[in-house]
Amino acid sequence: MRIRNLVVLAITIILGALSAKAQDRDGSLTFTDHSNRSITISRFGAVLSFKNGDGKQTAPANTYRVCPCGAQAGCIESATKPDDKTSSKFDVEFPKKGTTLEKEQTLVVSATFRHGDLTVMRRISWEAGSNAVKIDEVISSSKPLCPCILEDKPPARVLEMKMCPRPPIPGYICPPYDTLHPDAVRAMTFATLLNF
């Protein structure tokens, strides 16, 4: 029985060491393509960094902030990871095995998580050899939502949303509504194209 336990422990350690190359401690994964480009994605579906074929690495800036209207907490931003206490469902749709993409293959990753009153569903796609990453998101809540679009890097498309009052300082959270509008939305769809 002891030998069996030792064998199981040895296999577990080996598999953990092999997967440690692709997966960081925080649950993020790095994918590389045939031309040495790479993308690192958090377990929440946020693109943490992108390295182009020349080895230049960049990190995307936030393009939006969404909060439940009138709330001071529970907001999310497009490129910021929630805290470690937030659970998420992370799924690599393609490739099913490994983290290397061949020419003309497309990485597809999806993540769903709940942060406060918000539920976020993200789907990221990246074609091997390209410097463009497409992110489709649906953010929903039982409460009306107040989004802020950050002007320097707006999403490519924003659908089904009601803008909140313009913040007084760029990058500030939208001021809370004094009265909630009956037509305030409870779900928004974002489509963002990041070009690195």
* Portion of the chain with pLDDT greater than 90, in percent: 36
Closest CA to 109 of 21, 19, 36, 28: 28
pLDDT tens digits for 72-129? 778 888 888 888 778 899 999 999 888 999 999 999 999 999 988 899 999 999 999 9
Residues 184, 173: contact at Cβ < 8 Å?
no
Closest CA to 161 of 74, 22, 67, 79: 67
Sorted by where each begins, the domain ranges of the chain are 22-195
Residue 44 clears pLDDT 60, i.e. is over it: yes
Q: Report pLDDT for 27.
A: 83
Q: Report pLDDT for 85.
A: 77
> Which range among 41-45, 64-68, 175-179, 192-196 shows the weakest confidence by mean pLDDT?
175-179
Residues 40, 27: contact at Cβ < 8 Å?
no
pLDDT tens digits for 113-151? 998 889 999 999 999 999 999 999 999 988 888 888 776
Average pLDDT over residues 15-39: 71
Mean pLDDT score of the chain, rounded to an integer? 77
Query: Has this prediction a pTM greater than 0.85?
Result: no
ω into residue 95 within 30 of 0, thus cis? yes
